[in-house]
Amino acid sequence: MTLRIDGGEPLSMTTVKSLIAVCEQAEDQAAKDEQGSEILTVFVSGVPAEGWSAGIDVALVTKWERALRRLERLPVATVAVANGDCGGPALDAFLVTDIRVATEDTRLLVAREGSATWPGMAGYRLVQQAGAARTRRAVLFGAPIDARAALSHGIVDELTDDPVVTASTAADLLGGLSGKELAIRRQLLFNATTTSFEDALGSHLAACDRCLRQGAAKESV
C-alpha cells in the first residue's frame, strides 16, 4: 500500500479523502490478515506556496487532523519517504509514521501563514518527538530542519541516496512483526510521555497478558 502527499498542493477535501481512503484500505487489510503484517509507505515532498491558506477553514483543518490521527493509529506499520523540502501536509504525514527515511537534501519546514508560523499539530509533534529546545527555531520562526539535524534529533531514522530501496529495507525490518501488536506498542509509547507510572501500569499489564495468551495459544496448536 502506498500514498503520495504533495505539500505544495493546498490542503483540500481531495487530500483528506485520499488519506481516509488509504486508511480504510489498511484497516481492511489488517482485518483480513491474522498476522497483521501489512505495511503502508507514504511518499512526501513539497512545501506550501505563498497564500496557501486561501479557501481553507477550520472545519477542513479539523478533518485533516482527524485523518492524520487515524493514520497515526493504524493497525499496520507505516514507513515515510521524504524527498527535498517538506512542509504543510507533507510534513504532517511524515511525522505520524513509524519509520522515516529521507534524502540528504530533505528539509523539514513548518509552514508560514501571514505574520507567523502555522500553529498546526506539526509543531506539537516536533516538540513531542525532539524536544522544545531542538525545535524552537522551527516552530517559532519557520527555520528549516535539515536532514542531518533531523537525523540527530531522532525525527528521521535514516538518510539515503536511494529512498525507494531504503524504504524497502526498512520494510524488511518490520518483517514478521504484527501491525496489530505494533499499534498497541505505539499507543503505549505515546502515553509514556504524558501518563504517570501508576496510570500506565494497567495498560502495560494488559498488553503483557495479551502477549502471553497469544504465546500460549500458539504452543497449544
Give me the residue label for grid cell 487530500.
15
For 106-126, write each residue's pLDDT tens digit: 999 999 887 899 999 999 999
- Stated pTM of the model: 0.86
- H or E stretch at 2: strand 2-6
DSSP 34: T
- pLDDT-wise least confident of 18-27, 50-59, 142-151: 50-59
For 162-215, write each residue's pLDDT tens digit: 877 766 666 666 666 666 777 777 787 777 888 888 888 888 888 788 777 876
Q: Which of 89, 85, 127, 130 is nearest to 107 (CA)?
A: 85
- pLDDT band, very low/low/confident/very high, at 161 (cuts 50, 70, 90): confident
CB atoms within 10 A of CB 101: 28
All 3 cell numbers of residue 184?
498497541
Predicted confidence at residue 34, as pLDDT, reads 61
Q: What is the mean pLDDT of the chain?
A: 87
Q: What type of residue is 155?
A: I
Higher per-residue confidence, 96 vs 112: 96
